[in-house]
């Protein structure tokens, strides 16, 4: 059916405006330039912060990856958290590596001193961890290359050193994603 006069112009404008107003999934989850980096924490420099930007394929910084220590009541470095945030977020914004919804217990982005008392290979997640970050459509692979803890009291340990190798990359699509996510923690 042909529309009379200029009615087809109105239909075209309405359709174009609708398409522009619908949020794009791609806009919310930008593709990144894959990142391979090393992160080190040393108790000799406990206030030194490690942080690295993650850039989109168009060169803009879209995420920040950081390693944040946390202290026990006696001010020992009881553990460290790997944190991923949108670049514009404040430091108290949610960590994108945290699971969505209600959760408890040790997570793949946590590195607790007590968990490493018997070495990285015997820790809760072992030497290698992979996290699928659904909210950002990213994969984060973490390899613990060195973990040194010391006992500060009965059953309590602090980190003296932690060395990580970290890869952040776009999640594979299709069947490869579902196979990869079966081996990972999904956040």
- Higher-pLDDT residue of 85 and 154 is 85
CB distance 130 to 168 below 8 Å: no
- Higher-pLDDT residue of 85 and 15 is 85
The whole-angstrom separation of Cα 29 and Cα 138 is 9
The whole-angstrom separation of Cα 57 and Cα 12 is 32
Lowest mean pLDDT, pick from 12-16, 71-75, 112-116, 139-143 = 12-16
CA angle 81, 84, 90 (to 5 degrees): 100
pTM equals: 0.78
User: What share of the chain in percent tops pLDDT 90?
Assistant: 66
What distance, in Å, lies between the first and last C-alpha atoms of the chain?
49
Dihedral class, residue 88 (left if φ above 0, else alpha if ψ from -120 to 50, else beta): alpha
Amino acid 185: pLDDT: 56
Query: What is the per-residue DSSP string for 82-116?
Result: EEEEETTS-TTSPPTTSPSSS--S--TTEEEGGGG
Amino acid 24: pLDDT: 38
Which backbone phi and psi does 170 adopt, to 5 degrees? Answer: -65, 140
The whole-angstrom separation of Cα 132 and Cα 168 is 10
Residue 1 has pLDDT above 90, yes or no: no
Amino acid 47: pLDDT: 82
Residue 180 has pLDDT above 90, yes or no: no
The whole-angstrom separation of Cα 54 and Cα 60 is 8
If one counts every other C-beta atom within 10 angstroms of the C-beta of residue 35, the result is 17
Amino acid 91: pLDDT: 86
For 21-70, write each residue's pLDDT tens digit. Answer: 433 344 458 899 999 999 999 999 988 889 999 999 999 999 999 999 99
CB distance 55 to 62 below 8 Å: yes
Q: Which residues contact 30 (CB under 8 A, 6 or more apart)?
A: 56, 57, 58, 60, 62
Amino acid 175: pLDDT: 45
- Higher-pLDDT residue of 9 and 113 is 113
Provide the mean pLDDT of the chain.
84
Strands 50-55 vs 185-186: parallel, antiparallel or unpaired: unpaired
pLDDT band at 4 (very low <50, low <70, confident <90, very high): low
Residue 18 has pLDDT above 50, yes or no: no
């Amino acid at each position: 059916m042909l529309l009379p006069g200029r009615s087809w112009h109105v239909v075209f404008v309405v359709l174009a405006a609708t398409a522009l107003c619908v949020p794009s999934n791609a806009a919310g989850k930008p593709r990144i330039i894959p990142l391979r980096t090393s992160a080190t924490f040393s108790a000799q420099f406990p206030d030194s912060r490690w942080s690295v930007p993650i850039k989109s394929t168009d060169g803009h910084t879209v995420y920040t990856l950081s390693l944040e220590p946390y202290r026990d009541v006696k001010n020992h470095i009881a553990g460290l958290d790997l944190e991923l945030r949108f670049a514009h977020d404040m430091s108290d914004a949610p960590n994108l590596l945290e699971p969505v919804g209600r959760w408890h217990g040790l997570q793949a982005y946590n590195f607790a001193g007590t968990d490493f008392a018997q070495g990285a290979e015997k820790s809760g997640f072992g030497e290698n961890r992979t996290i699928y970050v659904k909210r950002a459509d990213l994969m984060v692979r973490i390899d613990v290359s060195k973990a040194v803890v010391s006992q500060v009291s009965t059953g309590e340990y602090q980190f003296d050193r932690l060395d990580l190798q970290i890869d952040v990359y776009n999640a594979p699509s299709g069947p490869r994603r579902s196979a990869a996510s079966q081996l990972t923690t999904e956040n």
